[in-house]
Amino acid sequence: MPSPTPYPSTSSPACGTPGCPALIDVRTDEDFAADPRLVPGLVRRPHTSVPDWSGSLGSSSAIAICQKGRNVDFR
């Protein structure tokens, strides 16, 4: 299993506060199977159907978390 990469708290100063952006795990099923750990407060959603679930976030901003940063396309 790969070693965990620390989540950079500087990417959103609001993390851990009521104004925290939604944290969305958009890893592919294959990437998730290889490392099924989740960041606390994170929810998994498929990157292939962002329009279907984005309206239900309840937040005006979001941070998408993926395995490699280049395997998913939100268009």
Task: Decide if 38 is inside a domain.
Answer: yes
Q: What is the pTM of this model?
A: 0.65
Task: Decide if 60 is inside a domain.
Answer: yes
Task: Decide if 61 is inside a domain.
Answer: yes
Query: How many residues would you count in the chain?
Result: 75
Over residues 13-64, the pLDDT tens digits come to 666 677 778 888 888 888 889 888 887 888 899 988 888 988 888 767 888 8
Q: Please tell me which residue, 47 or 9, carries the higher pLDDT value.
A: 47
Q: How many domains does the chain have?
A: 1
Q: How far is CA 2 from CA 20, 41, 58, 72, in A?
A: 27, 21, 32, 20
Task: Decide if 70 is inside a domain.
Answer: no
Domain that holds residue 40: 14-65
Over residues 56-70, the pLDDT tens digits come to 887 678 888 887 666
pLDDT at 8 over 50: no
